[in-house]
A and B are shown apart, each in its own frame.
Chain A
Amino acid sequence: MKAAPFEYVRAKTVAEASVLLGRKGVTTAAIAGGQSLVPMLGLRVALIDLLVDISRLEDLKVVTRTPDSVWLGALTTHAAIEDGLTPDAFGGLMRRIASQISYRAVRNRGTIGGSVALADPAADWPCCLIALDASVRIVGRNGVRVERVADFIQGQYETTLATGDIIMGFDIPAPAGRLRWGFAKVTRKSGAFAHSMAIATMRGKDGPAAVVLGAAGPHPRRLEATTGMLGLGESSEEQLRPAIAADLESHFADQDAYQKRMHTATILRAVREMRTQ
């Protein structure tokens, strides 16, 4: 489990990192926590010429709260969110999500920006940030752009990141009023990547709702039919099941019968938990 040789540069500024990552004729990668990249280099499924260390860029560590949103810099670790060291306008949803990612020693180093940049279909943050309708701010050679996380993640390990692009952080709109939420996931052992993951949210008693399913296809998806059903007051689980089935059919048709039953169970669990809040 030894990586093939590569060059290493510790970037001092975001601009320097962007230029280094965009170097022509060489394969480059940015490293922050390295909790996915280092094993990929060791297993030699990722082969690079140049590793650009962005882990000490202060601009990516900014964490702040405005009246209508929370900004989390890309280098925010899972453990910092788990421990409540970052502002929480989401009724504890992000703390709960963070506490179940991998293991503590990994959460101490792994970052939210790295997780979203890798875009593993079973990763927790893409699912959560899509449920919270967050945006991602990216700086690249052509300047800065802002995209909804839902649009940024395009497929399995596929994002809109181009050579030289760096995620600065995430702008997460703070819900007006209390956010009720439920989260359920199925893993073979605690800390492992999920086989199914669902998040249900609703603002207050009957505000806008969102249901997102992850670990089911190339990337997490909002379930529109199920979300619509949640908006209709206390719809029963019998009423929700056909809506879930319709959503699974339209977005995750290639999942087998077992997987569909599992996804239905995680979605219903998330909705149930949300309704207890």
Chain B
Amino acid sequence: MTAVTIELNGVKISDDVEPRQTLADFVRDRCGLTATHLGCEHGACGACTVVLDGEATRSCLSLAVMCDGRSVLTLEGLRTDPVMDVLRRHFHESHALQCGFCTPGMLMMARDILQRLPCPEDMTVRHELSGQICRCTGYANIVKAIVAAGQELGGRNLVDRAPADPADAAAFDSEGM
């Protein structure tokens, strides 16, 4: 067992974990947060998507022990998130779910898409969503909901991923590379 401290939805949790335990199992079994779903457990379905240090991540492909000192957001931690608020409403209005199993992962990835791309079009959303599987095949309404949420937000929600050294990046840009 290895001691870890993980900030989960803003709360620091310290515990001993087995090195082989995935972040998904830690979140679900140790912390009782079951919005993070496990479909395939090998990175193919996207149902377990969480945010690790600000980046969408498959929690089934991350070991809890490697997340020591890092911050994790699950769907439970986004109840008051402004982007998730808009997404939730559009998922409801567009009837963007059938059985609902893939929905947490779809919402997490949808939020990531809208934080990177302003007002994405249908085909862009489809491409960006290709790592999320809905076995009810309800993609049409999911895509519709994300496009509509993007329109409503109008790019106000973009998050910059700044280069490690912004001066460097500016220098490269000015060289036209």
User: What is the bound-complex CA distance between A189 and B2, given in angstroms?
Assistant: 39
Q: Which of A13-21, A33-41, A115-123 sits within the interface?
A: A33-41
Q: Is the CB of A109 within 8 A of B61?
A: yes
Given A85-B161, A88-B177, verify A3-B172 contact (CB < 8 Å).
no
Q: Is the CB of B172 within 8 A of A88?
A: yes
Given A63-B164, A109-B57, A191-B130, verify A87-B177 contact (CB < 8 Å).
yes
A102 close to chain B: CB less than 8 A: yes
Q: Which of B14-22, B74-82, B145-153 sits within the interface?
A: B14-22
Q: Is the CB of A190 within 8 A of B127?
A: yes
Given A8-B19, A83-B161, verify A39-B55 contact (CB < 8 Å).
no
User: What is the bound-complex CA distance between A41 and B61, given in angstroms?
Assistant: 10
B65 neighbours in A (Cβ, 8 Å): 8, 53
Q: Is the CB of A104 within 8 A of B19?
A: no
A137 close to chain B: CB less than 8 A: no
Residue of A nearest to B17 (CB): A8
Q: Which of B39-47, B84-92, B96-104, B136-144 sits within the interface?
A: B39-47
Which residue in A6, A88, A105 is a CB contact (below 8 Å) of B57?
Answer: A105
User: What is the bound-complex CA distance between A7 and B20, given in angstroms?
Assistant: 8
Q: Is the CB of B164 within 8 A of A85?
A: yes
Main SS at interface, chain A: loop
Q: Is the CB of B20 within 8 A of A108?
A: no
B43 neighbours in A (Cβ, 8 Å): 35, 38-39, 106
Interface size on B, residues (CB 8 A): 38
Which of B66, B130, B161 neighbours the largest number of chain A CB atoms within 10 Å of its CB? B66
Which residue in B2, B56, B60, B63 is a CB contact (below 8 Å) of A108?
Answer: B56
B56 neighbours in A (Cβ, 8 Å): 104-105, 108
A189 neighbours in B (Cβ, 8 Å): 130
Q: How far is the CB of A191 from chain B (nearest CB, A)?
A: 5
Further contacts, 13 of them, CB under 8 A, given A5-B20, A38-B63, A105-B46: A2-B20, A3-B20, A6-B19, A31-B66, A35-B43, A39-B43, A41-B20, A42-B22, A65-B168, A85-B161, A103-B130, A103-B131, A105-B57
A residues with CB within 8 A of B: 1-8, 10, 31, 34-35, 38-39, 41-43, 51, 53, 55, 63, 65, 79, 83-85, 87-89, 102-106, 108-109, 189-191
Smallest CB-CB A-B distances: 7 pairs:
A103-B131, A8-B19, A1-B41, A39-B42, A108-B55, A3-B20, A190-B130
B residues with CB within 8 A of A: 2, 18-20, 22, 25, 40-43, 46, 49, 52, 55-58, 60-63, 65-66, 68, 109, 112, 127-128, 130-132, 161, 163-164, 168-169, 172, 177
